[in-house]
Amino acid sequence: MMFRKVMFQSHSDLWSSDLNKVLQREIHLARNIQTTLLNGDMPQISSGEVSGISIPARLIGGDYFDFYSLPNGKIRIIIGDVMGKGIPAAMLMILTRGAFRSASEATRGPGDTLTSMNNAMYKDLRKLKSFVTVFCADWDPLTGTLVYANAGHCLPVIIRSNFEADEPPKLKGVMLGGLPAQSYNEQEVILKEEDLVFFYTDGIIEANNPEGEMFRLERLIELLVHNSFRKPTEIETIVTEAINAFTEGLPQKDDITMVILKIGKENSEIASFNSPMISP
């Protein structure tokens, strides 16, 4: 009896080991799919530079960002945060991306896009007891106008060319999945040469140090003011390193995502970089 019991445990352990290997392969496959989607085709723009980075709290995450050229010459930028972390959040992130791309093809401005997204996603998000915060903006390189709509997300930080922070006009909106039949309004702000716009998810300002203090918006603004003259990809690194130094090696609790738009002169550059996946 003892021998048979040991043999049964051995087969069970072997089966569990094989299952873990399968799950690990599928998680890594999901990670590759997410990374591919966050690194889409690179549009060509004039008079500016834009870059994005996402660092999940787990192997895969629920934050989402995207930017691409519209037929009218504008650049559409979107950043979103799905409730939760890990595989469930990543699945909803894929749903969000699909709804956004479909809505962008069928609608005009950011407000109409978020309205269509909420209409398409509301029932599914209610069934799943989840929601998504989204900020969507269209930047016109010719006029310098940034038109935006907000579904419960953080407003971006604007650093002007004189190294002063400027708060964009406030605009509230219900998160996607929060209420049915919502209509999202728009606001706009004029951007000028050398201005910087920093879009982000709350994983940045809510990062905690060992004493329980949060990174906070004020610290982020100060960091951006002192580094707004740099290239977007350099600012990504500076912000990421500042958060790592602040948290002193504590496990990352929430996904961290940022998109940086820098208004330039003539030459343009656009880049998307999804950082190495960081596990807690």
| Residue 41 exposed, middle or buried by CB count within 10 Å (0-12, 13-18, 19+) | exposed
Confidence of residue 83 (pLDDT cuts 50, 70, 90): confident
Confidence of residue 38 (pLDDT cuts 50, 70, 90): low
CA distance 261 to 144: 12
Q: pLDDT tens for residues 213-260?
A: 999 999 999 999 999 999 999 999 999 999 999 999 899 989 899 999
Confidence of residue 106 (pLDDT cuts 50, 70, 90): confident
82 against 58, higher pLDDT: 82
* Of the listed ranges 74-78, 104-108, 129-133, 187-191, the one predicted with least confidence: 104-108
Q: Return phi, psi of residue 82, to 5°.
A: -85, 140
Q: What is the DSSP letter of 263?
A: E
CA distance 191 to 73: 16
CA distance 167 to 27: 40
* Of the listed ranges 94-103, 197-206, 266-275, the one predicted with least confidence: 266-275
1 has pLDDT over 60: no
- Token pair in block for residue 68: 């691409």
Confidence of residue 276 (pLDDT cuts 50, 70, 90): very low
Coil/strand/helix, residue 270: strand
| Continuous H helices in the chain | 2-37, 86-106, 110-127, 217-227, 232-247
Q: What is the mean pLDDT of the chain?
A: 83
Q: pLDDT tens for residues 8-18?
A: 445 455 556 66
Q: What is the mean pLDDT of residues 90-98?
A: 80
Confidence of residue 88 (pLDDT cuts 50, 70, 90): confident
165 has pLDDT over 60: yes
Confidence of residue 4 (pLDDT cuts 50, 70, 90): very low
Q: Which domains does the chain have, with CATH numbers?
A: 38-272 (3.60.40.10)
The pLDDT value recorded for residue 104 is: 77
248 against 272, higher pLDDT: 248
26 has pLDDT over 70: no
